Amino acid sequence: MKRLLYLCCSLWLGALLDVFAQIQRGTAWLRLACRIPLDPSNVILGKVELHGSRQIQFGLRALIYPGLYLETQDLGRITLGDGIVISRGVHLVSHSHISIGSGSMLGEYSSVRDANHRRQSSTPLREAGFTAAAIIIGKEVWIGRGAIILPGVCIGDGATIAANAVVTHDVLAGTTVGGVPAKPLRSAKDIQKWTRVNAQFY
């Protein structure tokens, strides 16, 4: 019995130490890759994919899941507040500025992009450049799985973005929005409907 207990404790401790080692490696790698100060209070659970100029600023106590994609091009920059949670597979792409306030949470595979491709006659799409406008996400904002935030949008403090919503206009503080394009969900019945429709994606 004692041997079994010892074996179980050893396995549990080994797994725990391995998790801590992964977190340390992830944080150290990101600190080096970003070439900016990264406070040790941030928890990085897996490798972050970085592209472009790497103009990225982290706050304190972030929890970052694996598969985060960060890209800054031209004068673009990304500013992350304290205590944020970014889930697996999130994309943040900036040609202008993306700011995410303290305490906000981004669900799996959500996308925040502050630029759109420009179209010009007789110019291939990939060579036509971009039109960019800053995205400002306030404090304690909850962005559901698969939601898309488009250029020029400002989301107020405490707002909730339903799963798979496409946000094309500003969202007032404390408001819950959902749909394509996203609109306020004014009643409990609306919120229940969107929860039921999108439950398979949670």
Q: Torsions phi, psi of 64, nearest 5? A: -115, 120
State residue 200's pLDDT score.
55
Domain CATH code at residue 115: 2.160.10.10
Alpha carbon distance, N-terminus to C-terminus of the chain: 42
Residues 81, 28: Cα–Cα separation, whole Å: 19
Structural domain containing residue 175 = 2-201
State residue 133's pLDDT score.
94
Per residue in 132-191, pLDDT (tens digit) is 999 999 999 999 999 999 999 999 999 999 999 999 999 999 999 999 999 998 655 565
Dihedral through CA 190, CA 87, CA 18, CA 21, nearest 10? Answer: -140
Contact 169, 150 (CB under 8 A): no
Structure tokens at 145: 């799985």
Residue 103 burial (CB count, 10 A): 18
Residues 104, 56: Cα–Cα separation, whole Å: 17
Tell me the one-letter amino acid at 143. Answer: I
Q: What is the pLDDT along the chain (202 residues), one digit of tens a residue?
A: 656 555 555 555 555 555 555 555 455 545 545 556 789 999 999 989 999 989 999 999 999 999 999 999 989 999 999 999 999 999 999 999 999 999 999 999 999 999 988 888 888 888 778 889 999 999 999 999 999 999 999 999 999 999 999 999 999 999 999 999 999 986 555 656 656 666 554 4
Give catalytic status of residue 117 as yes or no: yes
Structural domain total, the chain: 1
Report helix, strand or coil for 30: helix
Residues 36, 152: Cα–Cα separation, whole Å: 26
State residue 202's pLDDT score.
44
201: left (phi over 0), alpha (psi -120 to 50) or beta: alpha
State residue 119's pLDDT score.
84
Q: Of the listed 51, 91, 97, 117, which one is catalytic?
A: 117
Contact 145, 159 (CB under 8 A): no
| pTM for the model | 0.76
State residue 129's pLDDT score.
80
Nearest one of 104, 76, 75, 73 to 90, comparing CA atoms:
104
State residue 165's pLDDT score.
97
State residue 13's pLDDT score.
59
